[in-house]
Amino acid sequence: MPKNENVFFSAAARAGAWRHRVASRLVHAGWRRLQSAGAVTAARPGPYRFGAIGHGTRLAFPQGTVFGEPWIHLGEYCIIGEQVTLTAGMMPGLDLGPEPILRLGNGVVLGRGSHVVASVPVVFGNDVYCGPYVYVTSDNHSYDDTAQPVGKQWPRTAPVEIGAGSWLGSGCVILPGARLGRNVVVAAGAVVRGEVPDFAVVAGAPARIVRRWEPETGWQPPLRTPAPVPIPDDVTPDQLVALRVLDERLGARLTEVLQGPPPGAVPGPQQEPANEALDERS
C-alpha cells in the first residue's frame, strides 16, 4: 500500500527548497557583482592612491589591509588575490621620503591572504609568483630587553629582494634581510633568511638549499621527472580539447588490447588464411 503523504507539508518543503535555491543564486550573483565593482585597477583605483599602478594590474575584492599607498609601486599585469595585505611604513600617515618602499615588478602574482609588510625597501622582480598565504616582511620583532614585552620592543628591519622569475610556495615566510636570486623556488612552509643564489630550491625552517642548478652539471640532485613539454603558442583551446578526447579514446583502446577480451566472451568467427582456402578449393 502507498504510504500516507501529507500534501501540505510536502508542498511547503518543495517551496522552501525552491526559495533557498533562488536565494543562493541571488547571493552568489550579487557577490560576483561586488567582486567586479570592488576590484582595484589603474582605471578604477577606488579609495587607494598608489604611487604607481601599471596597466593590466588588478587587486581582487575584498582587499586586505592597505596603507602607505604613495610609497607602493605596482608594475604591469600584476594579479593581487583577495585579502592580500600591502603596507608601506609601520603605520598609516607616515612620511617615508621620496623613494618607493614596496615595489612589485611586472607580472607579479600574490596569492590569496598573502602579506607584504615593508618599512624599508622590499622589491619583487618581474614574474614572481606567490602561492596563498605567503608572508614577506622587512620587519621582525626583537627581544633584546628581557624586562620588556617582545611586542613593545623596537623591531629589527632590513631590506628584502625577491629575484625575477621566482616561485614562493604556500605559507612560506621571507624574513628581513633575505635576498633571493633569479628563479628561486621556495617550498611551502619554508622560513627564509639570508641570501639564496640563482636557480636554487630551498625548503625547511630555517630554509636550506636542497637542489641547485649549475651550468656544468645541471640540476643537482637530478630532477626525478623529465621536464614538461610546453604547449606551442599557435595551438588553440579547441585543438587542445580535441587532442584530449583523442588521447582518451586511444588510451581506452590500448587498455582493451592489452587486457584482452573479458572473461566469458565468445570469440567471433575467424577468417581462414588465404593460402589454406585456396588449397581446399583446388
Q: Are 116 and 102 in contact (CB under 8 A)?
A: yes
pLDDT digits (tens, 9 = 90+) for 178-199: 999 999 999 999 999 999 999 9
Cα gap 282→280, rounded to integer Å:
6
Alpha helices in the chain (DSSP H): 7-38, 237-259, 274-281
Averaged pLDDT for residues 85-114? 94
Residue 164, pLDDT above cutoff 80: yes
The DSSP call for residue 114 is -
Averaged pLDDT for residues 154-162? 95
What confidence score (pLDDT) does residue 265 get? 59
Could you give the angle at the alpha carbon of 135 between the alpha carbons of 112 and 224, nearest 5°?
85
Q: Are 133 and 152 in contact (CB under 8 A)?
A: no
- Which of 144, 149, 178 has its CA nearest to residue 161? 178
pLDDT digits (tens, 9 = 90+) for 127-156: 999 999 999 999 999 999 999 999 999 999
The DSSP call for residue 40 is B
Residue 81, pLDDT above cutoff 90: yes
Pairing label, strands 200-203, 208-214: antiparallel
The DSSP call for residue 177 is T
pLDDT band at 242 (very low <50, low <70, confident <90, very high): confident
Residue 141: active-site member: yes
Of these residues, 20, 28, 55, 141, which one is catalytic? Answer: 141
Averaged pLDDT for residues 81-90? 95
Cα gap 138→85, rounded to integer Å:
14
Q: Which domains does the chain have, with CATH numbers?
A: 36-220 (2.160.10.10)
What confidence score (pLDDT) does residue 58 get? 96
Q: What is the mean pLDDT of the chain?
A: 88
Phi then psi for residue 245, to 5 deg, are -60, -45
pLDDT digits (tens, 9 = 90+) for 4-32: 556 666 777 777 788 888 888 889 888 88
| 3-state class (DSSP) for residue 113 | coil
